Structure 1
Amino acid sequence: MKTRSVGIIGVGHVGAHCAYSLAVQGIVDELVLVDINEQKAISECQDLRDSVAYLPHRVEIRTGGYGDLKDCDVVVVSVGVITKSKSRLDELHVSIEMVNSFVKQVVDAGFDGIFAVITNPCDIIARQVHKLSGFDKSRVFGTGTGLDSSRLKAVLSRETGIDHKSLVAYTLGEHGDSQMAPWSHVSVNGKPLVELAAKDKKYDVDKDAVLKEAIGGGWVTFAGKGCTEFGISSTLARFVYAIFHDEKVVMPCSTQLNGEYGQHDIFISTPCVIGKNGVEEVLELNLTEEEMAAFQHSCDVIRTNIGYINEEA
């Protein structure tokens, strides 16, 4: 039976918690931790080994270098430097330099799996990893608005009283302040929210306030902790589980668009089918004119910042 192996590059707050989620949930058989701070990787490795010692499943955890990732099924890119700025885009230049330093090394070592990108700004970094790796677009994706979409459902659940598992709702676009919610596609077990709101006031939510809270939740976490950890690690674990179990589950993630929504050569979040081959299908939603304008604005924000990279190249 094939070993389910995941490598994590960058085991700071986010990377370490991603490793913990994958290990404790029994999603992986093997974890390979890589960090430029070798002692940090060694220490996290020991702590993770201690954490799984009494679990009912077995997980092998070790440290290594880029060459040790060659047999991994998935490599998680979680490098970065946390800034105090309230904009993920402020991490752009440092993050680009970091991925530029190792992606080709990982591929040249023989890695032929799937890159899952957490590093911010997620959409632009996923595009850069795709460019550097030369992989098919299906094998490079960013977690994008996956967590934001879950938060949107959580806020809607609180406002309507409906369990989040019965809600279908996404945020699309940039993993950042310009993301938008296609309200025309929000439903409760197939019933459009707008139709329900016409008959029952509990469904008539303040859409702007709900979206603002969903987008801003990460900064609420950051304000007291100086980082975000638990939410994104659960999101990453969900993606990896879907890949290993070939679920064909629909989740929003940052993927390359090639004509969808009239966009080309840009990584941005939209619902996708996630299975053993990574992003197996992009599901293009039919957006209203207002929603399309908001999505286009988000694309423009990403392209503006991609331009900063090109100017420095």
Structure 2
Amino acid sequence: MGYHPVSIGIIGMGHVGPHAANSLILQGIADEILVCDENEDKLRAEVQDLNDSTVFAPHRAVITNCHTDYEKLAQCDVIINASGQVTLSAISRTGELFKSVDDARLFAGRIAAAGFTGYYVNVTNPCDVVAREIFRLSGLPSSHVMGTGTCLDSARLRTVIALKTQLAPESIQAYMVGEHGNSQIAAWSSVSIAGKLLNELSDNPRFAMDGAEAESLARKGGYIAYHGKQRTEYAIANAATRIVRAIVHDEKVVLAASVQLNGAYGQKGLFASVPCIIGKDGVEEVLEIDMNDVEKQGFADSCDVIRGNFEKLAPFSVESSRTMPIVLPKHAEDDRRLD
């Protein structure tokens, strides 16, 4: 019948990676999941637990321990990057940036050299900078690399509006855009319900709300989870899984994701979150939604924050990422390595 098993790779099995694997299993999306992590004990444990759980899944799935043999993931249709160390964000403003980029520099070139032609979904923060680095080192078309970006933040915005209006979240179109971080903004002037802009419905008490407050609640949702348990895991894992599902099932769904901008919204040469169509060809189209002047400036400022982060990175060539052993350069501001 020419059936092609759906093969998904996951790099990083700390917290988000295992939840993404479990979501892929329970939704029946993947036939096989290939996982990598530097912590062999944790990796072995997760592989055991996940394989045991497949007895209760919609169909058989096999989880394979690939250790740090990243080249084995070259056969995958989609690779989720969930590597990194989120606790560094509480210690140093730039610590997570350098750790996450260094992780990407250790695997992206190796997987590329092994012949990978599939798609990357990056979860690791800072999401926009890491997605850009994976794209740069992978040699893939820009449509093949995306980050979860504000996919989850947009869901949080819809949830805030849904709770206020007592509507189902899927009845609301609303997007957080820009950096996946503190500088993201709500594209409030484009929020709509049943084809009507929310601003046009404000005479009805049900739809009257404080846009600034809703934006703040959407932006801070992740910090509430982090404050209580020093991580976010379930929601972001499901956001990554949602993007994977859109690719392997060619859904052509509109989601906010971190994608390369090539002139859209007046921005070039960086990854930032905007609504886009995702299907079997990855990022199939970037959609430009209407924003007022304040929102446009906020989006531009957010993009400048992203640029400022990747400008902190030490130079690292594509050739260096494919030359074994990989020698990582020291970032000038990397306080993880200072005595």
The one-letter code matched in structure 2 to 1:60 is V
Of stretches 71-80 and 49-58 in structure 1, the one that deviates more from structure 2 is: 49-58
Select the residue among 161, 181, 184 that pairs with 2:189.
184
- Residue 85 (structure 1) shift: 3.9
Could you tell me which residue of structure 1 aligns to residue 337 of structure 2?
Answer: none
Could you tell me which residue of structure 2 aligns to residue 285 of structure 1?
Answer: 289
Could you tell me which residue of structure 2 aligns to residue 25 of structure 1?
Answer: 27
C-alpha contact 1:8 1:78 (8 A) present in aligned 2: yes
Could you tell me which residue of structure 1 aligns to residue 319 of structure 2?
Answer: none
Could you tell me which residue of structure 2 aligns to residue 52 of structure 1?
Answer: 54
Whole-angstrom CA distance in 2 between matches of 1:183 and 1:266: 23
Q: Deviations over 1:245-284 (max 9, x none)?
A: 1011000100000111111101000001000111011111
- Residue 56 (structure 1) shift: 3.5
Is it true that 1:275 corresponds to 2:276 in the alignment?
no
Could you tell me which residue of structure 2 aligns to residue 142 of structure 1?
Answer: 147
C-alpha contact 1:7 1:76 (8 A) present in aligned 2: yes
Whole-angstrom CA distance in 2 between matches of 1:71 and 1:235: 23
Q: Deviations over 1:155-198 (max 9, x none)?
A: 1001111211110000000000100111111011111101100x
Q: Among all aligned residue pairs of Structure 1 and Structure 2, give the percentage whose two residues are the same amino acid.
A: 46
Could you tell me which residue of structure 2 aligns to residue 221 of structure 1?
Answer: 225
Whole-angstrom CA distance in 1 between matches of 2:27 and 2:73: 21
Paired residue secondary structure (2:75): coil
The one-letter code matched in structure 1 to 2:12 is G
C-alpha contact 1:17 1:229 (8 A) present in aligned 2: yes
- Residue 54 (structure 1) shift: 2.6
Is it true that 1:296 corresponds to 2:304 in the alignment?
no
- How is 1:26-41 mapped onto 2 (pairs within 5 angstroms)? 26-41=28-43
Whole-angstrom CA distance in 2 between matches of 1:278 and 1:109: 20
Q: Residue 263 and residue 239 in structure 1: after superposition, are their counterparts in 2 closer, same or farther (change >3 A)?
A: same
- Residue 89 (structure 1) shift: 5.3
Paired residue secondary structure (1:70): helix
The runs of 5 or more residues in structure 1 that have no matched partner are none
Could you tell me which residue of structure 2 aligns to residue 78 of structure 1?
Answer: 82
Whole-angstrom CA distance in 2 between matches of 1:281 and 1:106: 26
Select the residue among 156, 175, 189 that pairs with 1:151.
156
Whole-angstrom CA distance in 2 between matches of 1:70 and 1:208: 44
Paired residue secondary structure (2:149): coil
C-alpha contact 1:88 1:176 (8 A) present in aligned 2: no
Of stretches 236-245 and 83-92 in structure 1, the one that deviates more from structure 2 is: 83-92
Aligned residues: 312
Is it true that 1:256 corresponds to 2:260 in the alignment?
yes
What's the TM-score once normalised by structure 2's chain length? Answer: 0.89
Could you tell me which residue of structure 1 aligns to residue 312 of structure 2?
Answer: 308
The one-letter code matched in structure 2 to 1:246 is D
The runs of 5 or more residues in structure 2 that have no matched partner are 316-330, 333-339
Of stretches 200-209 and 139-148 in structure 1, the one that deviates more from structure 2 is: 200-209
Q: Residue 238 and residue 110 in structure 1: after superposition, are their counterparts in 2 closer, same or farther (change >3 A)?
A: same
Segments of 4+ moved more than 6 angstroms: none
The one-letter code matched in structure 1 to 2:41 is Q
Whole-angstrom CA distance in 1 between matches of 2:243 and 2:18: 17
Whole-angstrom CA distance in 2 between matches of 1:19 and 1:88: 29
Select the residue among 98, 101, 109 that pairs with 1:104.
109
C-alpha contact 1:173 1:295 (8 A) present in aligned 2: yes
Whole-angstrom CA distance in 2 between matches of 1:294 and 1:286: 13
The one-letter code matched in structure 1 to 2:181 is G
Paired residue secondary structure (1:309): coil
Could you tell me which residue of structure 2 aligns to residue 237 of structure 1?
Answer: 241
Whole-angstrom CA distance in 2 between matches of 1:9 and 1:279: 21
The one-letter code matched in structure 2 to 1:81 is Q
Select the residue among 195, 202, 209 that pairs with 2:206.
202
